[in-house]
């Protein structure tokens, strides 16, 4: 909101508000409980998250185990894609959660899928966009094009932004 206030021109409409990056914490590690409950998640929606400490079942971790970066199963875009689509292979290459100090790690909880550490986020917020717009998440995708160049699996978010049908772009708002 501060950035928008400082940079938005009077004749402009903000149609989406996205915050993304490597946040260096995940939503499954007991060691990251403080960050999982950060007030940032009150303002921004995370399409991959059900709540603090709980991901949606289709989500995959975005941090590869560094020693495995150049192994055949993950060193090309195609092999990384196949690995991410295979539950048992994902467990071999995606970093597991970090236990809280002094406590054994129980992961995943009974009946929950194995996801791994998702530290790369794309969040969106509707409270700061034009009242003439509505934002809807169309897709979240995991990108494999950077295989063997980074230990991160980039994430993409496709938003559908709908303008009010009465808006003609010339009105003062």
Q: Which residues are catalytic?
A: 152
Does 108 sit behind a cis peptide bond, omega within 30 degrees of 0 on the bond before it?
A: yes
| φ, ψ for residue 64, nearest 5 deg | -80, 150
Beta strand pairing call for 18-22 and 120-124: antiparallel
Q: b/e map of 62-99 (b: 16 or more CB within 10 Å)?
A: bbbbeebeeeebbbeeebbbebbeeeebbeebbbbbbe
List the beta bridge partners of residue 162: 134
């Amino acid at each position: 909101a501060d950035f928008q206030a400082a940079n938005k021109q009077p004749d402009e409409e903000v149609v989406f508000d996205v915050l993304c990056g490597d946040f260096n914490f995940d939503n499954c590690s007991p060691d990251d409980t403080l960050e999982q409950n950060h007030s940032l998640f009150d303002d921004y929606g995370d399409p991959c998250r059900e709540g603090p400490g709980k991901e949606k079942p289709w989500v995959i971790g975005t941090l590869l185990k560094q020693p495995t970066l150049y192994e055949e199963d993950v060193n090309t875009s195609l092999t990384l894609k196949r690995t991410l689509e295979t539950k048992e292979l994902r467990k071999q290459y995606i970093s597991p959660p970090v236990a809280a100090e002094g406590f054994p790690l129980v992961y995943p909880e009974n009946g929950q899928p194995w996801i791994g550490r998702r530290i790369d986020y794309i969040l969106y917020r509707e409270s700061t966009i034009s009242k003439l717009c509505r934002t809807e998440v169309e897709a979240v995708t995991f990108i494999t094009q950077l295989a063997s160049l980074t230990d991160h699996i980039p994430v993409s978010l496709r938003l559908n932004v709908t303008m009010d049908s009465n808006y003609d772009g010339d009105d003062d708002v």
